[in-house]
Amino acid sequence: MLLEQVEYVRPQSLDEALEILANDDGAAPLAGGQSLTNVLKNRVASVDVLVDISRLDDLAGIARTADGGLSIGACVTYDELDRSADVRQTHWLLGEVAAHIEDQQIRNKGTIGGNCCLSDPTNNLPPLLVALDAVMELRSRAGQRSVASADFFKGYFATALEPGELLVSVTVPPMPAGSGAGYTSLAVGADAKAMVRAAARVTLDGGTIADSRLVLARVAHVPVRDTDAEARLNGGDATEESVAAACAGVADGMQPIADVHGSSEYRRQMAKVMARRAVSQAVAAARGSRNGSKAGGN
């Protein structure tokens, strides 16, 4: 396969990368390349210069924040998330979801930054990051700003990134005391692309759900919180019956997308099932010692 003629540059610093991106409309960051390479092959976007950010120290590594959260460099790969002791210790599910993205080759190259900046509705990490209240740290030559993950994903392959702006890191706050997370996908085959996903985080106060996040993916083109369902969960019993009752109305106020993989109504029904399972996982995780449940794969 012959790609269109393109320039390539590997800047030595973040500032140099931002400089090139600011000066050239046709410049595109190249991270893991596991989507962008195919975009170039298909010639669906015209790129003048590929700015290889994958070796920049400023975008690498996972650090523990002062409050016990995580600061994850944009070019951290799925495999690094999977193997990170820090991630597994406090945000076990994030490592687990990363460990089930497609296959080992893609996990060795694909980055958390690329997974988010592409805003492909089938990508695994966005709904989980929204459920965990993650914050996207963006930088351009003009300066740095923080955008809540819930506001970052704007549409089908569209994000809040402005021209010339890079995602530099993702901040994941600490899991609240007594909380747990869950994640389920409806897919044909293990670790495959999903038709519907749900990601959840619940905080328990004894036998009661004190607070919750319920995020649906592939129902719209971006991850969406079902705040009606969250309101039904909050203050309710953390029992299977009560969770099932709260999730029975999931996606009722929404108009799920329809495509070759499933009709709108099928997605709505499956969203209820995925939501119930994800919330149940989160409750089980909150009761266990782990912040993020073991059950359920991706």
Partner 1 sequence: MGERGTSHAVTVEVNGEKVSRIVAARQLLVHFLRDTLGLTGTHIGCDTGNCGACSVIVNGKLVKSCMILAPQVDGATIETVEGLADGDSLSPLQESFHEHHALQCGYCTPGMLMSATYLLRQNPDPTDEEIRRGIRGNICRCTGYVNIVKAIRAASREQASGGRPVPAAAGEEV
Ligand X SMILES: Cc1cc2nc3c(=O)[nH]c(=O)nc-3n(C[C@H](O)[C@H](O)[C@H](O)COP(=O)(O)OP(=O)(O)OC[C@H]3O[C@@H](n4cnc5c(N)ncnc54)[C@H](O)[C@@H]3O)c2cc1C
Binding site for partner 1 (CB under 8 A): 1-12, 16, 20, 30, 33-34, 37-38, 40-41, 49-50, 52, 54, 79, 102-106, 108-109, 190-191
Closer residue to partner 1 in complex, CB, 47/134? 47
**Footprint of ligand X on residues 11-50 (CB under 6 A)?**
28-36
Query: What HEC string does 128-190 produce?
Result: HHHHCCCEEEEEECCEEEEEEHHHHEEECCEECCCCCCEEEEEEECCCCCCEEEEEEEEECCC
Residue 208 phi/psi, 5-degree rounding, is -115, 145
* Residue 4 interacting entry, from partner 1, ligand X, none, C-beta within 5 to 8 Å by type: partner 1
DSSP helix/strand/coil, 44: coil
Let me know: does 127 contact 216? Beta carbons within 8 Å.
yes
167 scored as a contact of ligand X (CB under 6 A): yes
With CB under 6 A as the contact rule, the residue among 72, 94, 117, 128 that binds ligand X is: 117
- Distance between start and end Cα atoms, the chain: 33
With CB under 6 A as the contact rule, the residue among 124, 171, 281, 291 that binds ligand X is: 124
From the list 109-117, 174-182, 196-204, 262-270, the region that binds ligand X by CB under 6 A is: 109-117
Closer residue to ligand X in complex, CB, 141/265? 141
Closer residue to ligand X in complex, CB, 10/109? 109
Neighbours of 151 (CB within 10 A): 12
9 scored as a contact of ligand X (CB under 6 A): no
The two tokens of residue 4 are 């269109």
* Residue 41 interacting entry, from partner 1, ligand X, none, C-beta within 5 to 8 Å by type: partner 1
Closer residue to ligand X in complex, CB, 169/281? 169
Closer residue to ligand X in complex, CB, 120/228? 120
Only one residue has tokens 């059950």, namely 295
71 scored as a contact of ligand X (CB under 6 A): no
Q: Say how far apart CA 153 and CA 161 lie, in whole Å.
A: 9
CB 116 to ligand X: min, Å: 8
86 scored as a contact of ligand X (CB under 6 A): no
Long-range contacts of 238-244 (CB under 8 A, 24+ apart): 238/202, 238/204, 238/207, 238/208, 238/209, 238/283, 238/286, 238/287, 239/207, 240/280, 243/209, 243/276, 243/279, 243/280, 243/283, 244/276
Closer residue to ligand X in complex, CB, 135/166? 166
From the list 159-167, 211-219, 231-239, 282-290, the region that binds ligand X by CB under 6 A is: 159-167
* Residue 8 interacting entry, from ligand X, partner 1, none, C-beta within 5 to 8 Å by type: partner 1
List, in sequence order, every beta strand (DSSP E) within the chain: 7-9, 27-30, 49-52, 62-64, 70-73, 135-140, 143-148, 153-155, 158-159, 166-172, 179-187, 194-205, 208-217, 224-225
CB 48 to partner 1: min, Å: 10
* Residue 3 interacting entry, from ligand X, partner 1, none, C-beta within 5 to 8 Å by type: partner 1
C-alpha 225, offset from chain centre? 13
Interaction site with ligand X (CB under 6 A):
28-36, 74, 101-102, 106, 109-111, 113-115, 117-118, 120, 122-124, 161, 166-167, 193
